[in-house]
Amino acid sequence: MSEYVLPRHQEGRIAVVTGATQGIGRAIALRLAAEGARVGVNGRADTEQMREVVELTGGFPVVADMADAASVRSAFATVEQEQGVVDVLVCNAAYMSMSPILEHPLDDWWRNIDTNLTGTYRCVQSVLPGMRRTGRGNIIVITSEWGVVGWPNATAYASSKAGLIALTKSLGRELAPENITVNAVAPGIIDTPQLQVDADDAGLTLEEMHQQYGAEIPAGRIGRPEEIAGTVALLARPGLKAFVGQVLSANGGSTRARA
């Protein structure tokens, strides 16, 4: 591939990407900004990392903890007040912890659900009245290959991600008649800081984890955050109404992981 010029699909639109300070979320924020969007960069706290993404995107910070209802709702209210109605919502923020089920502390188990699944519900509820007023919107949920196939020691995370798939399908049906699309991307193994959790669980170094995963993927490598960002950007295109409640599996051909 050469000289592929990024389309400016997001010119004049406002996007909010949750969990955008690193990894996949950061790449999504940069991609939507490159396509012309003004991007709200969400993180749990105002950090150096967040400020860097805000600067790179020319966007604005959205400080909110997905696990905290009041924090999410007030942050989105501020966004609408100060920036305008959100056109594109990307629910990417996630917490992941791994443990054999009997040893998994209950509060930590629930933190996966509260952040990933309930956090997404809160974000969608927050942007929906605005999208209804403008009569349009694109919501993209980042789920996971593990939400499709499950994974040992990841019961909490996989449950939250499988729940997101059902949420996407239901909301897709519910909101399509109102010209609001809801779809999901289910990334496979991607080169992000989150892979350290996998490495720790497997007792491997991060590099060893990369190699082991890469060998198991038909493409022969793990994915890049920019690839997931491209897939998200497709679903965020205004006027592309044909995707309704779909889950795109971007996983390098891991054939057991199709939603």
Partner 1 sequence: MSAAAPVAVVTGAASGIGAAVCRALEATGWTVVGVDMRRPDHLAHSFVCDVSDPHAVKAAFARIEAEIGAVGALVTAAGHYEFAPIGEITEDQWSRMMRVHIGGLLNPLRAVLPGMIERQDGAVVAISSELGIGGTESEAHYSAAKGAILGLVRSLGSEVAGHNVRVNAVAPGPTDTPLLPAAQRTPEYLASLPARALGQPEDIAQAVQFLVDEGGFCFGEVMSPNMGAVI
How buried is 133 (Cβ within 10 angstroms: 0-12 exposed, 13-18 middle, 19+ buried)? exposed
Instruction: Tell whether residue 161 is a contact of partner 1 (CB under 8 A).
Output: no
Which residues, at least 6 apart from 161, have a Cβ–Cβ distance to it below 8 Å? 116, 143, 144, 146, 147, 186
Using CA atoms, how far apart are residues 144 and 5, in angstroms rounded to an integer?
Answer: 29
- In degrees and rounded to multiples of 5, residue 142 shows phi and psi of -95, 110
- What would the x/- binding string for partner 1 be over residues 175 to 194, using CB under 8 A? -xx---------xx-x----
- Give 81 or 255: the residue with its C-beta nearer to partner 1: 255
Using CA atoms, how far apart are residues 59 and 39, in angstroms rounded to an integer?
Answer: 5
Instruction: Tell whether residue 245 is a contact of partner 1 (CB under 8 A).
Output: yes
Q: Pick one of 169, 198, 200, 213: the residue that binds partner 1 (CB under 8 A).
A: 169
Q: Pick one of 51, 111, 132, 258: the residue that binds partner 1 (CB under 8 A).
A: 258
Active site residues: 157
Using CA atoms, how far apart are residues 25 and 31, in angstroms rounded to an integer?
Answer: 10
Instruction: Tell whether residue 230 is a contact of partner 1 (CB under 8 A).
Output: yes
- In degrees and rounded to multiples of 5, residue 199 shows phi and psi of -60, -45
Region from 97-105, 128-136, 198-206, 221-229 binding partner 1, contact rule CB under 8 A: 221-229
Q: What angle do CA 11, 79, 20 make, to 5 degrees?
A: 70
- Give 4 or 102: the residue with its C-beta nearer to partner 1: 4
Instruction: Tell whether residue 215 is a contact of partner 1 (CB under 8 A).
Output: no
Min separation Cβ 241 and partner 1, Å: 6
The binding site for partner 1 (CB under 8 A) comprises 1-5, 169, 172-173, 176-177, 187-188, 190, 217-220, 223-224, 227-228, 230-231, 234, 237, 240-246, 248-255, 258
